[in-house]
Amino acid sequence: MSNAKVLPLLEPEAVVPCCPPLNERPMSADEAEVAAKMFKALGDPVRLRLFSAVASHEGGEACVCDISDVGVSQPTVSHHLKKLKEAGLLSSERRGTWVYYRVEPAVLAAMGALLSGAGVTA
């Protein structure tokens, strides 16, 4: 565990191109599968609060200890953070004693792109 940490090094091209805006064309089954995962990740109140806590925290990252005051047990907090990480919305990094979570801007942008304009056009 002491050797190099293999970082993703996500290039700007790697921005999730998941899908066109919702109102551009009917979504394909595959697109919907991908996009629904992201929405579902934010479809739980506890996860939404955790995510918001991380997103609004200084520097865009927060230690678990800083955000675990959402009314559920600590294992549950960990469970939800894992879900958010699996959905690509958060990334985590251990720094000494604490584990820090950070928002993944690319995925957020993708979701925003999905919604933006969806109610505007006809």
| Residue ranges that bind DNA, judged by CB under 7 A | 1, 40, 43-44, 46-47, 63-65, 68, 72-83, 92, 94, 96-99
Q: Does 49 bind a second copy (CB under 8 A)?
A: yes
Signed CA dihedral, 22, 24, 29, 33: sign only: negative
Report which DSSP code applies to 117.
T
Closest distance to a second copy from the beta carbon of 33 (Å): 5
Return the closest-CA partner of residue 38 out of 90, 78, 79.
Answer: 90
Nearer to a second copy, 75 or 119 (CB): 119
Q: Does 6 bind a second copy (CB under 8 A)?
A: no
Give every strand in the sheet of 61-63, ordered side by side.
Answer: 61-63, 98-103, 90-95
Nearer to DNA, 18 or 83 (CB): 83
Q: Does 64 bind a second copy (CB under 8 A)?
A: no
Nearer to a second copy, 40 or 94 (CB): 40
Query: Residues 66, 68, 72, CA angle at the centre, nearest 5°?
Result: 165
Looking at the DSSP bridge assignments, the partners of residue 63 are 100
Q: Does 14 bind a second copy (CB under 8 A)?
A: no
Q: Does 105 bind a second copy (CB under 8 A)?
A: yes
